[in-house]
Amino acid sequence: MKNELANETKETGGHRGRLFVFKLLSALWLGKFLFRLTRLIGRGGTTLPGRTALAINPGIASQLAGQLTGGTLLITGTNGKTTTSALVSTILKENGCRYIHNYSGSNMIWGITSTLIEASTPAGRLDGNWAVMEVDEGAFPSVVHSLRPHGIVVTNIFRDQLDRYGEIDQIQDSIEKGLRAQPEKGFQVLNADDPSLVALDSGGKKRVTYGLETELQDPVRQNTGRDIKTCPACHKKLEYTKIYFAHLGHYYCPSCSYLRPKPDIKLIEHIRNSDGTTHLQIGLPDDEFALNFPLLGTYNLYNVLAAVACGYALSVPIPVIRQALERVVPSFGRMEKFSVNSKTMIMALIKNPVSTNEVLRTILNEPGKINLVVAINDKIADGTDISWLWDVNFEELAAVKDRLSTVLVSGLRALEMAVRLKYAGLDPGQIEIAEDTGRAVKSALEHTASGDKLYILPTYTAMLEMHRHINRMGLGKPYWED
């Protein structure tokens, strides 16, 4: 970096060159100081360092990321970004690569900038092969322009945070703008089972698709919120030969030639093992391989395929991909497990109807009693419109009343959540209200029997609050210490 700064000084002239160096280093050093300060007071420092550095030097993210020898990989989409980016990072690590990852899930440009600042040296040097960055859908085009990614993974598009995104076509437009802006030599990984993605313009880049070619082991619930109902080409009604959840499946349009493409990377078979892992048989364009995957849920079948497709596009050897994916652990707040006094707490972020329905589906397929905390906040990061709760199939909880042991609602909108569960068919006398998230965790643990599981379903800011309470209990640690 020292030589790069010297070259920049020569190329731009003495005064302009010194100004370039001053802006870069002053933004960097102030960012690093704010990291230390926020960590001292027990905060993550995921946004403040980046916001401040960008105010001083708007080009700092591209200047730092431009030093990476491999490049940047961006993962976007409504659901699955955090887990998929963690899986891709694990594959790179297993392959001996040095990488940078915004593992906190802070996925706006300031969070990404904070990650780059933390990883750099005080001299502005960034050692590494790759940066793996989870990116917010709305911020995606601007991040693509800043980081010029070598690879892009798009997981899916669902209705999410109506107060921010509006209808689903706005998310499609945002992602398509980012795909078009990607450098020509890059590659794109897209979910073939999502009709809203296949129609997007790649801008002529290499594309790798993935999808399911198997039957689910549990009945498909048709009320999981199909956000895409019409053909992207002619706007007539789409038909399906298979639906996995929501609008993901094997679709075709009877009115025109639009249909699901045959995926390059496909799940051929999945069987639940007795140890809790899932045996996966994954097909490639010219081969196939098996692995035992430790994460639960149909949505994680898509996440693992997305990671395999990204590894395949990067020419990572298949044995390396297999070894990496068999060793993964749940990401921050995504079916994350904590153990205490022979009890298991499982935290799963919820943020929209589809993600919540699939989390509920996973919980209901697990054996034993159900102890449940649902914590709803309506801060900016959560989405201020909580009407989506009425599109979640909480009625399935009423259908298994005999298995419900503890039901507790918490967060800023705990009372509204209690009303939603009442109308779902739960007995109001069975629903405990504890608006304070710390008291909710403590109370739910006290009511959970030894050997049982406690499921905590929070929105984003409620998840961060509960994580801090769990850390204080000595059951976890801040994500930056992982």
Given this model, what pLDDT does residue 226 score?
60
Most confident of 225-229, 271-275, 413-417: 413-417
Q: Is residue 147 part of a domain?
A: yes
Report H helices in 57-202. 60-65, 81-94, 109-119, 140-147, 162-165, 168-181, 195-198
Given this model, what pLDDT does residue 167 score?
65
pLDDT at 468 over 50: yes
Mind listing the pLDDT tens digit for each residue in 204-220? Answer: 899 999 999 988 755 44
If asked whether residues 340 and 306 sit together in one domain, one would say no
Given this model, what pLDDT does residue 263 score?
97
Given this model, what pLDDT does residue 142 score?
95
Q: What is the mean pLDDT of residues 79-104?
A: 93
**Of 27-36, 44-53, 191-200, 231-240, where does mean pLDDT reach its minimum?**
44-53
Given this model, what pLDDT does residue 275 score?
82
pLDDT at 166 over 70: no
Given this model, what pLDDT does residue 475 score?
72
Query: What is the C-alpha to C-alpha distance for residues 159 and 225, in angstroms, rounded to an integer?
Result: 9
pLDDT-based confidence at 70, cuts 50/70/90?
very high
If asked whether residues 321 and 379 sit together in one domain, one would say no
Mind listing the pLDDT tens digit for each residue in 325-370? Answer: 999 887 766 778 888 888 889 999 998 888 898 889 889 888 888 8
pTM metric for this prediction? 0.84
Q: Is 58 exposed, middle or buried (CB count within 10 Å of its CB: 0-12, 13-18, 19+)?
A: middle
If asked whether residues 289 and 158 sit together in one domain, one would say yes
pLDDT at 470 over 90: no
If asked whether residues 290 and 410 sit together in one domain, one would say no
Query: What is the C-alpha to C-alpha distance for residues 17 and 108, in angstroms, rounded to an integer?
Result: 29
Given this model, what pLDDT does residue 217 score?
54
Query: What is the C-alpha to C-alpha distance for residues 105 and 127, in angstroms, rounded to an integer?
Result: 22
Q: What is the mean pLDDT of residues 472-481?
A: 63
Query: What one-character-per-residue DSSP string does 24-86 give?
Result: HHHHHHHHHHHHHHHHHTT---SSHHHHHHHHH-TTHHHHHHTT-SSEEEEEESSSSHHHHHH
Residue of higher predicted confidence among 426 and 474: 426
Q: Is residue 4 part of a domain?
A: no
pLDDT at 2 over 50: no
- Residue 239's domain is classified under what CATH number? 3.40.1190.10
Given this model, what pLDDT does residue 383 score?
84
If asked whether residues 142 and 271 sit together in one domain, one would say yes
Q: What is the mean pLDDT of residues 296-312?
A: 94
If asked whether residues 283 and 384 sit together in one domain, one would say no
Mind listing the pLDDT tens digit for each residue in 325-335? Answer: 999 887 766 77
End-to-end C-alpha distance for the chain, whole angstroms: 28
Domain boundary among 298, 325, 352: 325
Domain boundary among 325, 346, 361: 325
pLDDT at 44 over 70: no
Q: How many CB atoms lie within 10 A of CB 474?
A: 8
Are 162 and 383 in contact, with CB atoms under 8 Å apart?
yes
If asked whether residues 242 and 212 sit together in one domain, one would say yes
Q: Is residue 193 part of a domain?
A: yes
Q: Is residue 78 part of a domain?
A: yes
Full domain range(s) for residue 346: 334-481
Query: What is the C-alpha to C-alpha distance for residues 112 and 81, in angstroms, rounded to an integer?
Result: 14
Given this model, what pLDDT does residue 41 score?
72
pLDDT-based confidence at 15, cuts 50/70/90?
low
Q: What is the mean pLDDT of residues 9-36?
A: 73
- CA dihedral in degrees (102, 104, 110, 116; nearest 10)? -30
High-pLDDT (> 70) share of the chain, %: 89
Given this model, what pLDDT does residue 9 score?
45
If asked whether residues 92 and 167 sit together in one domain, one would say yes
pLDDT at 463 over 80: yes
Q: Is residue 22 part of a domain?
A: no
pLDDT-based confidence at 284, cuts 50/70/90?
very high
AA letter at 76: T
Q: What is the mean pLDDT of residues 377-397?
A: 90
If asked whether residues 239 and 115 sit together in one domain, one would say yes
If asked whether residues 448 and 299 sit together in one domain, one would say no
Q: What is the mean pLDDT of residues 252-273?
A: 93
Q: Is residue 166 part of a domain?
A: yes
Q: Indicate the number of domains in the chain.
A: 2
When the pLDDT of each residue in the chain is averaged and rounded to a whole number, the result is 87
Q: What is the mean pLDDT of residues 161-168?
A: 53
Q: What is the mean pLDDT of residues 6-12?
A: 48
Length of the chain: 482
* Opening angle at CA 406, ends 404 and 407, nearest 5: 90
Pairing assessment for the beta strands 248-252 and 239-245 based on DSSP bridges: antiparallel
Q: Is residue 43 part of a domain?
A: no
If asked whether residues 168 and 260 sit together in one domain, one would say yes
Given this model, what pLDDT does residue 458 score?
95
Q: Is residue 149 part of a domain?
A: yes
pLDDT-based confidence at 10, cuts 50/70/90?
very low
If asked whether residues 378 and 451 sit together in one domain, one would say yes
- Residue 453's domain is classified under what CATH number? 3.90.190.20
Domain boundary among 325, 348, 379: 325
Given this model, what pLDDT does residue 291 score?
95
